[in-house]
Amino acid sequence: MTKRALITGVAGQDGRFLSELLLGKGYEVWGIVGPYPGTFLEWAQDFEKLHPIDADLADMDSLLAAVETSRPDEVYNFAAISSVGESWDSAVLAAEVNGVGVVRLMEALRLMAPAAHMFQASSAEMFGDATEVPQRETTPHLPLSPYAIAKSYAHNIVASYRRSFGMHASSGILYNHESSMRGLQFVTRKITDGAVRIKLGLADELRLGNLDARRDWGYAGDYVEAMWLMLQQEQPGDYVIASGEAHSIREFCAAAFSHLGLDYEAHVVVDPAFFRPVDPHVQCGDASRAREVLGWRRTMTFCELVESMVDADLARLEGQPSQ
């Protein structure tokens, strides 16, 4: 029997990768598009079994209708205010969507599809100023931003529904995962796009914030594979999904510019306007449980990831007129 999946936030990076993965496995996929579809609707036309639908995590009736329409075996929740920086400017909205919106989704599933296997996209930002490095599933939450606080609330709500109602609800504690589909509001794409623009004579400098913040970066295609594996398990649970390596934003700049034959120090300008009010200094995850239980492995190294993103931006921007 054909499996049916419902994906919220399907138009984003993870939604696109997961849609391709599930469609390749023969699933019928319903995707809640959200307010910023980008090129998703045109892309979706190429897939007979991919069905865009309208719903909103702030609207309970729309979620009930989406669950009724899709009748899902599996549900993947990506819908969120996805930028930590943006959450400082939209703190109430981040709480409403990233936090309370997950309660609405869990309620819709409890009422309409209690047997569905559900995945929640949790975030390493929940650990904030972590008490240990690397961080594990058991590391205490010390969230620093509105985004992280809302994600921590949602993570605990999902665990509560799992315990209270016996729902198959799992959370992936996701560390930064990137690709050429990452939005330009994220620092990684800002770096690769900016480096290519400088290489092509479309820009002279790239202005960034804290270059010494350290993050654990992986490839988005690998991370959606882990999400799918979680929902194939007999028992639900929480899993850190990470590379296990911490690299600074400075290192990311060096790798991106070096791939283009450039020295980042000649072009990157540190601008205090891009500093966050507070920022976790080191994020690094221990994905031992995912490797042992799910059999998950990453396929792309840090340098391979950076270079693939630079190459994609170079292909996209070549041929544009110079300044």
Tens digits of residue pLDDT in 148-165 = 999 999 999 999 999 999
Catalytic residue (choose from 19, 82, 87, 123): 123
Residue in the structure block whose two tokens are 């290489």: 199
CA distances, 271 to each of 206, 248, 265, 285 (Å): 9, 17, 14, 28
Residue in the structure block whose two tokens are 């990157």: 268
H-only helix segments in the chain: 13-24, 40-44, 60-70, 84-89, 91-94, 101-112, 146-165, 187-199, 220-231, 249-259, 288-289, 302-317
Where residue 302 falls (left for φ over 0; alpha for ψ -120 to 50; beta otherwise) is alpha
Catalytic residue (choose from 74, 125, 178, 225): 125
Hey, which residues does 121 pair with through a beta bridge? 172
Q: How far apart are CA 240 and CA 107, in angstroms?
A: 25
Nearest to 176 by CA among 96, 82, 251, 257: 82
Active site residue 160: no
Catalytic residue (choose from 27, 76, 147, 219): 147
DSSP 205-251: -EEES-TT-EE--EEHHHHHHHHHHHHTSSS--EEEE--S--EEHHH
Q: How far apart are CA 57 and CA 26, in angstroms?
A: 27
Domains and CATH numbers, the chain: 4-177+218-241 (3.40.50.720), 181-215+246-284+300-317 (3.90.25.10)
Q: What is the pLDDT of residue 306?
A: 98
Average the pLDDT over each of 210-214, 227-231, 259-263 and give the range with the smallest value.
210-214
CB-CB contact of 245 with 311 (8 Å): no
Average pLDDT, the chain: 94
Average the pLDDT over each of 131-135, 184-188, 317-321 and give the range with the smallest value.
317-321
Nearest to 100 by CA among 119, 77, 76, 132: 77
Inform me whether the pLDDT recorded for 58 exceeds 90: yes
Residue in the structure block whose two tokens are 């996701």: 174
Q: How far apart are CA 261 and CA 58, in angstroms?
A: 47
Percent of the chain with pLDDT over 90: 83
Q: What is the pLDDT of residue 52?
A: 95
Inform me whether the pLDDT recorded for 193 exceeds 80: yes
Average the pLDDT over each of 17-26, 182-191, 246-255, 279-288 and give the range with the smallest value.
279-288
- Beta-strand relationship, 238-241 and 247-248: unpaired
Active site residue 123: yes
Active site residue 62: no
b or e along 230-249 (b: 16 or more beta carbons within 10 Å of the residue's beta carbon)?
bbeeeebbbbbbbbbbbbbb
